Structure 1
Amino acid sequence: MVKLVVGLGNPGKEYAKTRHNVGWMVLDKVANQFEEPFSKEKFKGVIAEIQSPHGKVILLKPLTYMNRSGESVAEAVKFYKLNPEEILVISDDLDMPVGKVRMRKEGKHGGHRGLMSIEEKLGSSRFPRIKIGIGRPERKEMVANYVLQPFSKEQLPIIEMAIDEATRWVTEIIDGKPIEAKTCSF
């Protein structure tokens, strides 16, 4: 049973609508659906507490910036005495096309520095994850700038559908549906 849902992103208005912040975008929608605001600063992040049919579920948006997300997650895991399997992490993925959404029970970081930080701090990669494809820039040296830019006008409706689908999956998991491997594309 998932007890902590983490959306990866970067704090600050300048990052709010960027590709790297799709995890935060999903959590914002989930919090809105449950009418629970992100009202507390805790665990080097902001949290919203949701009452599910199976107990309390914490939504966490780390404020440590992407590369140090594991610090925030590790504090929450320690406080709530959670196993990695009780954490669901939502992140962007450069290696999937824009609009592809994938859920797995566990996996590898694939070079994603936020996931890498979490795996390092937890000492495990055995946590469920939802990845949302943001595509890759044409040239490799542009990756750092690319992830910190907003989606193009053409990509925006596609990514909004992907975020809505990921939000639906998270809501179902909070309501008690077991995590299963699945993929969809828009």
Structure 2
Amino acid sequence: MYLIVGLGNPGSEYEKTRHNAGFLAVDEIAESIGARYWKIEGGALTAKGSHRGCDIVLAKPQSYMNTSGGPVKQVMAAYKATPDQLIVIHDELDIPAGTVKVKRGGGHAGHNGLRSICDKLQTRDWLRVRCGIGRPPGRMPVSDFVLSEPRRDAADEFAEAVHQAARAALSLIDEGLEKTQREFNGK
């Protein structure tokens, strides 16, 4: 069993923003594995499905990005999941827009959703799918950038990164970390 968590913010005003890359990727995974019934569980929207014989629980914390750790911990407890069974999909400023990278462990790089998960789980050792959104242009504040919808060409890059993030999460289950890194990290 794997728990795939997409980070984002609940509410229609955030639905297509860069910060919701994780929610959008999880929605794409749900579509591909036929997980259609969503319910509130442990402070997150959850849905279940299977992929190539592996049970998958999808989760979208509903407590807003900065406090995602509480719902992640609660859903992990409900399903008796360990950090080895956790895959977190999130936006990443330090990766070029439109690209995806995967890794196990690491810091939070100032990402408050990751910081919250690190704090609540008391570990940094889980699988991560990092959906590149790039840096804000000029002097635009980071918060304004991540909470805005990409426009024009950037929208296509963002959609492709979300799609690749969904593929990478399933590849981690199918192929493991090393093969997935070879496929996605070099692009």
Identity of aligned residues (%): 35
User: 1:46-73 CA distances to partner (integer Å, 9 max, x unpaired)?
Assistant: 0110123444210000001000000110
Distance 1:32 1:47, change over 3 A: same
Q: Amino acid of the residue matched to residue 178 of structure 1?
A: G
Residue 44 of structure 2 is matched in structure 1 by 45
Tell whether 2:63 aligns with 1:64: yes
Residue aligning to 1:8? 7
- Structure 2 length-normalised TM: 0.91
Q: How far apart in 2 are the matches of 1:99 and 1:163?
A: 8
Quick one: distance in 2 between partners of 1:38 and 1:18? 24
- How many residue pairs get aligned? The number is 183
CA deviation digits over 1:130-175, x for unaligned, max 9?
Answer: 101111113566111111000121111112222221111222334x
1:17 correspondence with 2:16: yes
Q: 1-side partners of 2:19 and 2:54: how far apart?
A: 30
Which 4+ residue blocks in structure 1 deviate beyond 6 angstroms?
none
For 1:179, what is the secondary structure of its paired residue? helix
Once residues 110 and 140 of structure 1 are traced to their aligned partners in structure 2, the CA distance between those partners, rounded to angstroms, is 20
Q: Is the 8 A contact 1:31 1:48 kept in 2?
A: yes
What value does the CA root-mean-square deviation take over the aligned residues? Answer: 1.7
| Structure 2 counterparts to residues 150-169 of structure 1, below 5 A | 150-169=149-168
State the alpha-carbon separation in 2 of the partners of residues 179 and 54 from structure 1: 19
In structure 1, the gaps of 5 or more residues are none
